[in-house]
Structure 1
Amino acid sequence: MYIIITKLLANRLRLVMTNIIGDEQMAFIEGRQLCEGVIIANELIDEAKRKKHSSFVLKLDFEKAFDRVSWSFLDYIMMRMGFDATWRKWIMECLQSSLLFVLINGSPTRQFKTSRGLKQGDPLSPFLFLIVAEGLNGIISSTVNNNLFEEMEVGTVDNDDSHFSHIQFADDTILFGKALEDNIWVAKCILQIFEVASGLKINYSKSRIYGIHTEKDWLKKMACLLNCNVGEMLFKYLRVLVGGNHRRLSLWQPLVEGFRKKLLKWNRCWLSFGGKLTLLSYVLSSLLVFLMSVYLAPKGIIKILDKIRREFLWGGQGESRKINWVKWQQVCRNRDEGGLGVKDVTPQNLNPETRQTPCTRERIMIYISNLYSLYKMASLLTRHSPCFPVLGIAS
């Protein structure tokens, strides 16, 4: 009965999430996709580098985010968003009805009630967490509006600079700002205030600060102030490398290594041809989909990945080689065309422009139009090197 009730509440809450959650949040909301945050973060960093603006990027890691949510803070944010008392009462009753027990030496303890946190797997939990995370969005926006925090300055449109402060994907948050010590102090205050109010604690040992056109000594000093570590500009956000040149083969090396690690496990056992085909189609090929929805893979990487998949399909156990009985192009054709239905990973078939929904393309275009109008002007596109999805959207 509990699951039915929470599912009904989640379905109703889903209808208003677009209106109550800011555009900076990309998670769990219809029309917003995982790749948006990666694309926008990469473009912001690329533009700051190109304009030689002294900036910092603070990548935050929350400690056990769902388990630390304060119910009183959630109720307060919902009240500020305009939810009536009846709806808030329903939500609180769902949260307070949870009973837990602990296994000690295999034996369960007496059940006890929880006083904070959201249950993993609950249909309501993702939406309730976004409402809590919107509190951080509100604090950051308030400091920006009151000129307490100077955002990252990117691009120039008719001599009018555009600014960006942060992006979020659930608890995966990146803060952008000018490389000023006052900014770091304000950022630290923001995070401390949000921790006290919401219960969400920053894990500073896993958080990283990155500098763009900043001195190393200044960056180390700011890292000590925040009690976090200094990171290299090429870093992972949502499991995709951000801040590097996607045309370089080194950016794609983790993907190639991921392929090889999978094959090391599978090559130790005997697999039928049908088993190999299934693993090839539904496991290896799926590793490519998200990354190639963000970046255009170099031709050299495509050849390497095709070679790995081809050798796995036709090869024997271990390192032994077998004859490729059918051309790879034929293998990648659809079954109704005489092929085996293996996904072709060439850029033409995994074109990010065609993979993104019109809604996603429109949202990204709004961000990019705020960055600068160069992407809208076909005559100027040859002067700049935006990442592949943006180039496709703008054209």
Structure 2
Amino acid sequence: MLRHSELQGFKIPKVKDKLITTLFADDTTVFLSEFDKFTDLELILNKWCIASGACFNVNKTEVTPVGNPSYQRDVISTRCIHPSQEPLANEIHIAQDQEPVRVLGAWIGNHIDQTTIWSPVMDKIKDNLNRWNKSHPTLFGHRLIIQMVVGGMTQYLAKVQTMPKQVEDDLQKIIRNFMWDGKKAPVNINTLHLPIRQGGVKL
């Protein structure tokens, strides 16, 4: 319904079709141009809810203004996508500048701090490694734990969000500290990446 509607959505250079929505499970992301009316979107969603028997949760709706800084400020201050339109309902949250909004595990927003996005993940990694360390794993046990915890907790976010250099450096320190129980490392991290026959542990 959304893709065949009159909503303009985003027009991407050299791309024939407009970008209007992405869907995954019960999450829906809709892209509106400044000339699209939110009320038109609501009518479409209400029709879909009636047909499907589902219920659209307006209280979970978040809006991230996209465009030049002046337009973003206007949307935040007036709650209007366009000056000719009615303000958005108070139940709808409009993300402020530097405020991240989560979309399918990634965080989007205007001027958001990528390092801050990674902070909860880094804390979880530290907590998990501390718990595992209480079992006094062997050198190869450390390797498996690092691959499972650090690799498992960073792979998706690094793919969709990218990883800042600061976070990468901090992870290296965490890995090195865990690998050698906080003691001075007898070999550098590059050596640990080597195959066992070459003196590494295939980290």
| TM-score bracket for this pair, using the shorter chain length | 0.7 to 0.9
Matched, 1:179 2:41: no
Matching residue of 2:199: 338
Deviation at 1:341, TM superposition (A): 1.8
Matching residue of 1:266: 132
Greater relative CO, 1 or 2 (CA 8 Å, sep 6+): 1
Q: Deviations over 1:112-159 (max 9, x none)?
A: xxxxxxxxxxxxxxxxxxxxxxxxxxx112213xxxx231344x45xx
Matched, 1:207 2:61: yes
Q: Distance in 2 between matches of 1:150 and 1:177?
A: 7
Amino acid at match of 1:188: E
Of the candidates 231, 240, 247, which is equivalent to residue 95 of structure 2? 231
1:252 to 1:246, Cα distance in 2 relative to 1, 3 A: farther
Matched, 1:292 2:152: no
Deviation at 1:234, TM superposition (A): 2.4
1:252 to 1:173, Cα distance in 2 relative to 1, 3 A: same
Deviation at 1:328, TM superposition (A): 1.2
Deviation at 1:177, TM superposition (A): 0.5
Matched, 1:218 2:78: yes
Of the candidates 133, 152, 157, which is equivalent to residue 10 of structure 2? 152
User: Runs in 1 of length 4+ with deviation above 6 angstroms?
Assistant: none
Deviation at 1:186, TM superposition (A): 0.9
Q: Distance in 2 between matches of 1:336 and 1:206?
A: 54
Q: Distance in 2 between matches of 1:173 and 1:210?
A: 14
Deviation at 1:304, TM superposition (A): 0.7
SS of structure 2 residue aligned to 1:292: helix
Q: Distance in 2 between matches of 1:217 and 1:302?
A: 37
- Does the 8 Å contact 2:106/2:161 carry over to 1? no
- What TM-score do the two structures reach when normalised by structure 2? 0.76
Deviation at 1:231, TM superposition (A): 2.7
Of the candidates 179, 187, 202, which is equivalent to residue 326 of structure 1? 187
SS of structure 2 residue aligned to 1:222: coil
1:337 to 1:246, Cα distance in 2 relative to 1, 3 A: farther
SS of structure 2 residue aligned to 1:141: coil
Count of equivalent residues: 188
Point out the structure with the larger strand share. Answer: 1
1:245 to 1:265, Cα distance in 2 relative to 1, 3 A: farther
Flag structure 1 segments of 5+ consecutive residues without an equivalent.
1-138, 316-320, 343-395
Amino acid at match of 1:331: L
Matching residue of 2:168: 302
- What TM-score do the two structures reach when normalised by structure 1? 0.42
